[in-house]
Structure 1
Amino acid sequence: MSVSNPTLITFVIYIAAMVLIGLMAYRSTNNLSDYILGGRSLGSVVTALSAGASDMSGWLLMGLPGAIYMSGLSESWIAIGLIVGAYLNWLFVAGRLRVQTEHNGDALTLPDYFSSRFEDKSGLLRIISAVVILVFFTIYCASGIVAGARLFESTFGMSYETALWAGAAATIAYTFVGGFLAVSWTDTVQATLMIFALILTPIIVLLATGGIDTTFLAIEAKNPDNFNMLKNTSFIGIISLMGWGLGYFGQPHILARFMAADSVKSIAKARRISMTWMILCLAGTVAVGFFGIAYFSAHPEVAGPVNENHERVFIELAKLLFNPWIAGVLLSAILAAVMSTLSCQLLVCSSALTEDFYKTFLRKNASQVELVWVGRVMVLLVALIAIAMAANPNNRVLGLVSYAWAGFGAAFGPVVLISVIWKQMTRNGALAGILVGAITVIVWKHFELLGLYEIIPGFIFASLAIYIVSKLGAPTAGMVERFDAAEKDYNLNK
């Protein structure tokens, strides 16, 4: 690997810029609220792009284009499900959660919100939800570190061990120093880079393959079923792919963006920006994989790396069709996708450990400066555990991403959604929802029942558990009063 390698230089400049943003955010971080939620100061543009970038990991530029390249448009159902789920999350949860967390003890984390919303004096709700976050997110972080390592390994010819640290170091650095503001500001830059890459690349591929008509004829010649949305699918298969959309209601790293918005008024504008960004990105992702079929059919002599690993389709197209400097920028978009999600996950884990364990159970009177530094140490601790888990590339940790998504979606999704729209929900109902959702996902995944994605039964059973158990009791007068005040505030300001 030459030091003059344009791609390497581009990566170094990009990473240096992200760390510089972290240092700028450091100067705006004065207390735990700043470190965990940016002092609830995010405007609509940063809220929108940060929510999008934190959601879309390396799978956006590697996994999904690869699936489309292999199977055609039948793999695009997952994109449709994600768009529907994200829109409903913005519509029903975003604004209400922003107000409810403020009215319920100015909660900084999901466990904190659950504990205040349902007046859980025992701490059981906080502990169980914080444990769910730590277990699933440590696995999630490990998968992001593996994805980053694979990118460095394939782009620069590094050993896996070196690539592992290279991919993780920059993300850890700016998250450690700048906290939530650094993560949100860098997410905005990364979201811009991702959409640039996903709009430009399919256009250039189209031009390289002779335009739309020629490209479509080449794809059809390769396999006419590439255009068939129902190829090799079943009703359960389509429902399972669409079911990914349910996961949005329970993802702590996405919900944190809603909680950090500067006001409810910012949410509507942020929703429009975020959904436009998301639809364009997913359309670009599908187009990269789909048009890639035509390109590599016409150029079989360079198709070896993609045939060996279809998830490299975006990487190979960027290398083959662009000037090395532009290719470096496009490949930085993959790093951006990995870093944006990994940084959010590290911060949510740090928040759970600092706010929900350290401050609540160990040091109730800890100073703000102490809590911020504990938060930074926790980022480092979680990152090191995740790196240790990712050290063996054969442990297939990337395959657990869908498991973690289902776990959060079923354990937290119904609790969050119902807690912001139904004032009769009780503390025991919330506990039942988290436990039933998490257990259903684990059991369903283990037995692979009906071939149905485990998030769907998990979400349904958790919702039923919340309703039934809540009906067996009643919320306190204080819970109802705070809910009504928050709902009134939301309706006045939305």
Structure 2
Amino acid sequence: MSGNVIGILLVMIVYMFFMVLVGILYSRRNKDVNDFYLGGRKLGPLVTAMSAEASDMSSYLLMGLPGLAYLSGVADVGWTVIGLAVGTYLNWLLVSKRLRRYSAKANNSITIPEFFSNRFRDKSKSLLAISALLIVVFFVPYTASGFAACGKLFSSLFGVPYLPAMIISAIIIVAYTALGGFLAASTTDLIQSIVMTFALVAIVIFGIHVAGGWDNVVSNAHSLDGYLSFFETHDPVSGESSPYKPITILSTVAWGLGYFGMPHILLRFMGTESEDKLKISRRIATVWVVISMAISVLIGIVGYSVSKEGLIETFTESGQSETIIIKLAMILSENGALCVLVAGLTLAGILACTMSTSDSQLLAAASSVSQNLISDFFGFKISPKKAMLTARLTVLVIAIIGVLLALNPDSSVFKIVSFAWAGFGASFGPLMLFSLFWKRCNRNGALAGLISGGAMVFIWKFAIRPLGGSWDIYELLPAFIVSCVLIIVVSLATAPPSKEIVEEFESI
């Protein structure tokens, strides 16, 4: 192993050790499960904003988006970014304040399933159980994609086998999450967002330099058919372009709808110390998301020029192209001790974006199992001390399942994330909006929307979308629409909410 690679490894080890240290420090602040899962609603505006967005920007920020831009150009990734940017802003604008207020009013709900159950006074606890199960179903593969990204990183960097690299990464994430809970995850997310920002800026500047300058990057991109067009997509195998149809644009922009249903982001809204400071958080979050995603796409485009210069190999598959930022960092590390440090921090940025999402997903999934299913649904009464132990053990078990699902090193991070994103967006997104803004929405409508949204994601993904043509639409859009329609129809067809529910809604 060369000196620069050893230097990178040391930087990354120090970084991971620091994350675990944060978990140890915050472990002392967790007095009960309310602290463990929601931090006692004590997050400040900066931590709220950056932890929400860092937990959102998983490995697809530094791997998925650049890899997709490298292969097919601007259209596919560009419309995705536009949808995500708009969705981010609208989620903060419409949902954050009202959810913070409503979740506290609805019997101090500390999880999303608990909020739905309390909001509609669901005595059967069907909403609680089904929403908790959906969180587990969609978060486990989402978490697995993060573990896979870490495994790819270490395997590409140090030539170590993928499997042990992936498992060690998972152990680090589980360690500080199980120890420190929500506060540790949120604090490390803030730190990780800073590291991610540094990684993006450092790599794009260096990439443009080694690619021969900005003019050369633009010239190379223009030489590819449809590469820089928002209405055509480039095929890296044939070298030709194909039209990016309006219906495809609509379904791609629909990525933004997913934000309304992301439990790990919504929990940040619920955990903030004051709803009055959410306006500051919204501005910070929106600006950071727009800038970071734009740079991420640019890295993919710059990466193609670096390939053309012969400094790295040319990629034709998504699993390969997602390592573009790793390849650029390794080239950077060959330029002296300072560059080794910068490269190490850059690659720690990939760990950061992966860890910041995985820790939040682990917490959300663990809360669904230990708090919502074991304690609330099945009614097991356990002491606060045993409840904390159950929460930590649940984090461990879910992580083990995620590791098992991440055994295939050739899986695409972007594809796994897109499916899980659709699942949450379609099942929880419509219900969250109707819960917060429609007084007439009742428990039956909520249940219908929850089930239909989740089910339609699977139906469209595996039965309808493969038909191709006009049916080749991202599953989030049709599933979101179906869920909305059923919430309205079933709510209107059944008895209206009780006076108690209506009065609580109006007080919000």
With normalisation by structure 2, the TM-score equals 0.92
**2:312 is aligned with what amino acid?**
A
Matched-pair contact (CA < 8 Å) for 1:148–1:335: yes
Q: Which residue identity is paired with 1:170?
A: I
CA contact (8 A) 2:64 2:413 kept: no
Q: How far apart in 1 are the matches of 2:378 and 2:423?
A: 28
- Aligned equivalents of 1:46 and 1:143: distance in 2? 25
Summarize the alignment of residues 137-152 of structure 1 with structure 2, pairs less than 5 Å apart: 137-152=139-154
Which residue is 1:59 aligned to? Answer: 60
Alpha-carbon separation, structure 1, partners of 2:61 and 2:413: 17
8 Å CA contact 2:152, 2:409 repeated in 1 = no
Q: Which of these residues, 60, 77, 89, is aligned with residue 91 of structure 2?
A: 89
Q: Deviations over 1:400-422 (max 9, x none)?
A: 32221111111110000111111
Segment of structure 1 superposing worse, 288-297 or 344-353 = 288-297
The one-letter code of the counterpart of 2:118 is: S
Question: Does structure 1 residue 303 correspond to structure 2 residue 304?
Answer: no
Paired residue for 1:430?
A: 446
Of 66-75 and 21-30, more deviation after overlay is shown by 66-75
Determine the C-alpha separation between the residues in 2 that align with 1:396 and 1:5.
28
Query: Which amino acid in the other structure matches residue 140 of structure 1?
Result: Y
Offset at 1:71?
1.7
Partner of residue 10, structure 2:
9
Which runs of structure 2 are paired with 1:15-94 in the superposition (5 Å)? Answer: 15-75=16-76, 76-94=78-96
Distance 1:174 1:387 in 2: 17
The aligned residue for residue 489 of structure 1 is none
- Once the two structures are overlaid, the 10-residue window that deviates more, 130-139 or 388-397, is 388-397
Pairing partner for 1:410 from 419, 422, 426: 426
Residues 307 and 318 from structure 1, CA distance in 2 versus in 1: closer, same or farther, beyond 3 angstroms? farther
Contact 1:306–1:316 (8 Å) recurs in 2: no
The residue identity in structure 2 corresponding to 1:190 is Q
| Cα separation, 2, equivalents of 1:390 and 1:398 | 14
* Contact 1:22–1:178, Cα closer than 8 Å, also in 2: yes
Aligned amino acid, residue 318 of structure 1? A
1:469 shift after superposition: 1.2
Hey, what does 1:348 align to over in structure 2? 364
CA distance in 1, matches of 2:293, 2:208: 17
Whole-angstrom CA distance in 2 between matches of 1:358 and 1:422: 31
* Contact 1:445-1:454 within 8 A present in 2 as well: yes
Deviation at 1:428, TM superposition (A): 0.5
Which residue of structure 1 lines up, in the alignment, with residue 209 of structure 2?
207
> In the aligned structure 2, how far is the partner of 1:471 from the partner of 1:175?
43
| Structure-1 separation of matches of 2:107 and 2:449 | 22
Superposed, which structure 2 residues align to 1:25-424 within 5 Å?
Answer: 25-75=26-76, 76-220=78-222, 222-223=223-224, 225-231=226-232, 232=242, 233-297=244-308, 299-300=309-310, 302-304=311-313, 306=315, 309-322=320-333, 323-362=339-378, 365-393=381-409, 399-424=415-440
Matched letter for residue 171 of structure 2: A
Post-superposition CA distance 1:304-340 (Å, at most 9, x none): 2646722121111121134222111101101111111
8 Å contact kept, 2:149–2:413: no
The alpha-carbon deviation at position 210 of structure 1 amounts to: 4.2
Q: Greater shift after overlay, 135-144 or 2-11?
A: 2-11
Question: How many Å separate the matches in 2 of 1:213 and 1:393?
Answer: 36
Contact 1:72 1:226 in 2 (8 A): yes
Once the two structures are TM-superposed, the CA of residue 200 in structure 1 deviates from its matched residue by 2.5
Going from structure 1 to structure 2, the CA distance change for 1:48 and 1:74 (only over 3 Å counts) comes to: same
1:402-481 alignment, distance < 5 Å: 402-449=418-465, 450-472=471-493, 473-481=495-503
- The letter of the residue matching 1:465 is L
Asked if the contact 1:306/1:312 (under 8 Å) is kept, the reply is: no
Taking the aligned partners of 1:288 and 1:395, their CA distance within structure 2 comes to: 21
Question: Cα deviations across residues 95-122 of structure 1 (Å, max 9, x unaligned)?
Answer: 1111110010100111100110000001
- CA distance in 2 between partners of 1:307 and 1:237 (Å): 22
Deviation of 1:219 after TM superposition, in Å, equals 2.5
How much has 1:468 moved relative to structure 2?
1.2
Amino acid of the residue matched to residue 277 of structure 1?
W
Paired residue type of 1:462: S
Distance 1:211 1:15 in 2: 34
- Secondary structure of the residue aligned to 1:61 is helix
Q: Distance in 1 between matches of 2:160 and 2:453?
A: 41
Counterpart CA distance in 1 for 2:342 and 2:411 is 34
Report the Cα distance in structure 2 between the residues aligned to 1:319 and 1:2, rounded to whole angstroms: 11
> Which residue identity is paired with 1:315?
I
TM-score, scaled relative to structure 1 = 0.94
Alignment RMSD: 1.7
**Does the C-alpha gap of structure 1 residues 361 and 128 become closer, same or farther in structure 2, counting only changes over 3 Å?**
closer
Does the CA-based 8 Å contact 2:452-2:479 persist in structure 1?
A: yes
Larger deviation: 388-397 or 442-451?
Answer: 388-397
Gaps of 5+ in 1: 487-494
- State the 1:205 CA deviation: 2.2
Q: Give the % identical residues.
A: 41
Q: Give the partner amino acid of 1:414.
A: P
Q: CA deviation digits over 1:431-464, x for unaligned, max 9?
A: 0100111121111112234101111111111111
Q: Specify whether residues 163 and 113 from structure 1 end up closer, same or farther in structure 2 by C-alpha distance, changes over 3 A only.
A: same
Task: Please give the alpha-carbon distance, in whole angstroms, between the structure 2 residues aligned to 1:338 and 1:277.
Answer: 17
Matches of 2:166 and 2:307, distance apart in 1: 30
Taking a change above 3 Å as real, the CA distance of residues 394 and 289 of structure 1, as seen in their structure-2 partners, is closer
Cα distance in 2 for partners of 1:43, 1:144 equals 27
How many residues end up aligned between the 2 structures? Answer: 483
- One-letter amino acid matched to 1:456: L
Q: Secondary structure at the match of 2:462?
A: helix
Structure 1 residue 350 displacement after superposition = 0.8
Tell me how far apart the structure 2 counterparts of residues 397 and 188 of structure 1 sit (CA, whole Å): 23
Moved more, 437-446 or 391-400: 391-400
